[in-house]
Amino acid sequence: MQIKNREKEPEMAEMIEGSERDRRRLSELLNGIRVGSGVDAMADEMREAVWTDVRTRIRRRGLRMRIVRYAAAAAVMAGVVCGSWFLGGRRVESRLVAEAHPVIISTPKGVKSDVVLPDGSRVRLNGGTRIVYPTLFGDQRRVEVDGEAYFEVEHDARRPFVVVTGEVASTVLGTTFNVHAYSEDENYQITLATGSLLVDGGPDSRSVRLRPGEQGFFERTSGMLSLRRVNVGQVLSWQEDKLYFRAEPLASIARSLERQFNVDIAIADERLRKICFTGEFVDGENIQEIMQIISADSRILFRSRKNHFELYRNR
């Protein structure tokens, strides 16, 4: 049978402020739980308990609730019904979304992936990136990123879109931008391609509003957030497997290559790790070819075994 309460739905529609889509989704959350005939009585009791709880919460808080507040109540009902299925051998099908249950996606090194968020925004993840977001956005669209990701955010003036990377929070309404914020790196970079973006460096730093072509550069050791102009095309080129380095320490370059090619690169010599290089790899070079180019510097030699590389000083 399908759990229904048609008499209660008009009442809830008047009590909850929101769009027709919100009211329809609330109905789906409660009506989308299907159970076998052996648990009809239990289902009726749980259905009535959920509606009673909804009315009580509205009266107690004196607020107009949106549907996302009641996803958890529907999830409780689903859990009890599923328990009956295990005991009675009945199949239970449920369609539930709950803001309290995060989605966690991790891409391995050497792999890129595309993600569509609950609001329709799109994200492209670079290798070695982890993204966390709720299955259903509420009044704020909040996403956590450890790694590098390019965002195409759907415009929604009522619900800001917030990307959290460690200490830094970037807030937009609708725009395209790139976040480079691996937890093992010394710095975070947030680059704006289109639209407008507010970057907050945390309580011990400052906030800056970016315009297209600008980058917020956050130094994690000092907590300093600075603004600079960059070549957006080069910043976004990782999506096409192109790499650009501008006066970048060899240790940082090695980390980028590890993520790009899913290899391990060791640099034991501390002085070697700090040597800065400028270069670009845009013609599909493989890791062996790139290592040979780097070792063209007379100070550097390399050796390799399968997917393990070592850069060391030329004595």
Judge whether 307 and 260 are in contact, CB under 8 Å: no
Q: What is the pLDDT of residue 293?
A: 93
Q: What is the pLDDT of residue 123?
A: 97
Share of the chain above pLDDT 90, in %: 58
When pLDDT is cut at 50, 70 and 90, the band that residue 203 belongs to is: confident
56/69 Cα distance (integer angstroms): 13
Which residues, 6+ apart, have CB-to-CB distance to 261 below 8 Å?
109, 110, 286, 287
What angle do helix axes 287-294 and 250-261 make, rounded to 10 degrees? 170
The predicted model scores a pTM of: 0.66
pLDDT digits (tens, 9 = 90+) for 216-273: 999 998 989 999 999 999 999 999 999 999 999 999 999 999 999 999 999 999 999 9
Q: Indicate the helix (H) or strand (E) that contains 303.
A: strand 300-305
pLDDT digits (tens, 9 = 90+) for 153-163: 999 989 999 99
Burial of 311 (0-12, 13-18, 19+ CB in 10 A): buried
Burial of 174 (0-12, 13-18, 19+ CB in 10 A): middle
125/113 Cα distance (integer angstroms): 5
Q: What is the pLDDT of residue 174?
A: 83
Is pLDDT larger for residue 209 or for residue 70? 209
pLDDT digits (tens, 9 = 90+) for 77-118: 444 333 433 443 333 333 344 455 899 999 999 999 999 999
